[in-house]
Amino acid sequence: MKKVHNFSAGPCILPQEVLKKASEAVVNFDDLNLSLIEISHRSKNVVAVMEKAQNLVRELLNVPANYEILFLQGGASLGFYTAALNYLSKDGKAVYVNTGTWAKKAIKEAKLVGNIEVVASSEDDGFKYIPKGFNIPADADFLHITTNNTIYGTQYPEIPKSPVPIIADMSSDIFSRPVNVSDYAMIYAGAQKNMGPAGTTLFIVNKDLLGKTGRTIPSMLDYQLHIDKESMYNTPPVFPIYVSMLTLDWLKNLGGVPAIEKINAEKAAAMYAEIDRNPLFVGYTAVEDRSKMNATFNLVDDTHKELFDSMWKEAGISGINGHRSVGGYRASMYNALPLESVQALVKVMQEFEEKVSVKA
Ligand SMILES: *Cc1c(COP(=O)(O)O)cnc(C)c1O
């Protein structure tokens, strides 16, 4: 197989060793001479996968005992709705920060449930920054934030000090930096950015705050029911959970979240240094709110687009086109992307600069 530098925004790169182990388990799982995906989810070996995945999440993020770990279906997109359904009381309110496409969708779904107030937004400037210093009413049931804005390339440099518990969509930066879980009512993240294949969503739920909404919640949307059934109320997505477990194990062996945080900082520093140095490119977002996961940038002069695109494709780089709603370029540097891939992209940007200056 030819070496490809995979900067895809999601689904995205996973460690090679994880893909190899996952493919083996599809054929012969745990030496049972059966595939992982053709046996009962209640079998001892599959229950052990679920438990190991949950334990790894607990260990890697230091999740306190009053939180439960669930692997559910429906994506982070269903989480937008269930977050409010499970934590917003019938006559209470919740406050949201609008930092882009995903935050907007979270707001839209939560409004179907109850009373939502948007306390801050960066829509006035193309979602190029993270709002700061906004007021969070102490009588809200929760504050909802999107910690990393995958499409625009912004990330909260610090989590806001909040008088109320936070609910966070961490789909695109979970396990990339340490998290103080006890600040949160709930954390959710689709697997397909830093953890595994699409098909499961991680929920880390504070169980002390459940059961206070005064609503009747449909079974599949009810966190408490999923807790009671140990995340196996119905058939769980066994394969995505298995691959997530392998990725979390890979991360643990690497030294855990503090170790990957360092590597991620190194990758982001190299990427942004080139964006800032190279006169042919300009970064999209406010410097202080730059995402360490998704670096967004544009060509200063779009007439060079064809040349640049042909050069990075030639160098085995894949997936750096910006989101269809924003355009430009986006280099996603998730946990599994090696520094070497960032260096390859930086090299192409430098060679591109040379070519353009020779032409001029
Ligand atoms: C990708 C993404 C989502 C959507 O996740 P699905 O699992 O496809 O529903 C939500 N929020 C953020 C921040 C994302 O990056």
In a domain, 263, yes or no: yes
Q: What is the CATH number of the domain that holds 267?
A: 3.90.1150.10
Residue 181: pLDDT band (50, 70, 90) is very high
Catalytic residue list contains 193: yes
131 and 150 fall within a common domain = yes
231 and 280 fall within a common domain = no
Q: How many structural domains does the chain have? A: 2
- CB-hemisphere CA count at 13 Å for 188? 31
In a domain, 9, yes or no: no
Among 78, 171, 193, 334, the mutation site with the greatest number of ligand 1 atoms within 8 A of its Cβ is: 171
- Tens digit of each residue's pLDDT (9 = 90 or more) over 226-251: 999 999 999 999 999 999 999 999 99
Residue 3: pLDDT band (50, 70, 90) is confident
Residue 61 in contact with residue 160, Cβ under 8 Å? no
* pLDDT score at 1: 81
* Residue 341 pLDDT greater than 90, yes or no: yes
- Tens digit of each residue's pLDDT (9 = 90 or more) over 96-131: 999 999 999 999 999 999 999 999 999 999 999 999
103 and 129 fall within a common domain = yes
Q: What is the CATH number of the domain that holds 27?
A: 3.40.640.10
In a domain, 5, yes or no: no
Over range 163-170, report the average pLDDT.
98
How many angstroms is it from 193 CA to the middle of ligand 1?
8
* Residue 342 pLDDT greater than 80, yes or no: yes
- Tens digit of each residue's pLDDT (9 = 90 or more) over 190-231: 999 999 999 999 999 999 999 999 999 999 999 999 999 999
Residue 359: pLDDT band (50, 70, 90) is confident
* pLDDT score at 210: 98
Q: Which residues contact 183 (CB under 8 A, 6 or more apart)?
A: 159, 162, 165, 166
Q: Which tops the pLDDT comparison, 326 or 283?
A: 283
In a domain, 3, yes or no: no
Last residue within a domain, chosen from 254, 288, 317: 254
In a domain, 71, yes or no: yes
How many angstroms is it from 102 CA to the middle of ligand 1?
7
* Residue 360 pLDDT greater than 80, yes or no: no
Of all protein residues, the one whose alpha carbon is nearest to atom 10 of ligand 1 is 76
Catalytic residue list contains 52: no
How many angstroms is it from 106 CA to the middle of ligand 1?
10
209 and 323 fall within a common domain = no
* pLDDT score at 2: 84
* Residue 315 pLDDT greater than 90, yes or no: yes
Among 82, 144, 148, 150, the mutation site with the greatest number of ligand 1 atoms within 8 A of its Cβ is: 150
In a domain, 355, yes or no: yes
How many angstroms is it from 185 CA to the middle of ligand 1?
19
Does 77 count as an annotated binding residue?
yes
Over range 41-60, report the average pLDDT.
98
In a domain, 301, yes or no: yes
93 and 193 fall within a common domain = yes
Last residue within a domain, chosen from 193, 221, 254: 254
Of all protein residues, the one whose alpha carbon is nearest to atom 14 of ligand 1 is 171
164 and 266 fall within a common domain = no
308 and 198 fall within a common domain = no
pTM greater than 0.85 (yes/no): yes
| Closest by CA position to 74, among listed 234, 182, 215, 209 | 234
236 and 285 fall within a common domain = no
Domain that holds residue 323: 256-359
In a domain, 135, yes or no: yes
Does 102 count as an annotated binding residue?
yes
Last residue within a domain, chosen from 254, 271, 292: 254
213 and 279 fall within a common domain = no
178 and 203 fall within a common domain = yes
235 and 248 fall within a common domain = yes
Over range 343-359, report the average pLDDT.
96
| Closest by CA position to 165, among listed 147, 201, 139, 131 | 139
Catalytic residue list contains 312: no
215 and 330 fall within a common domain = no
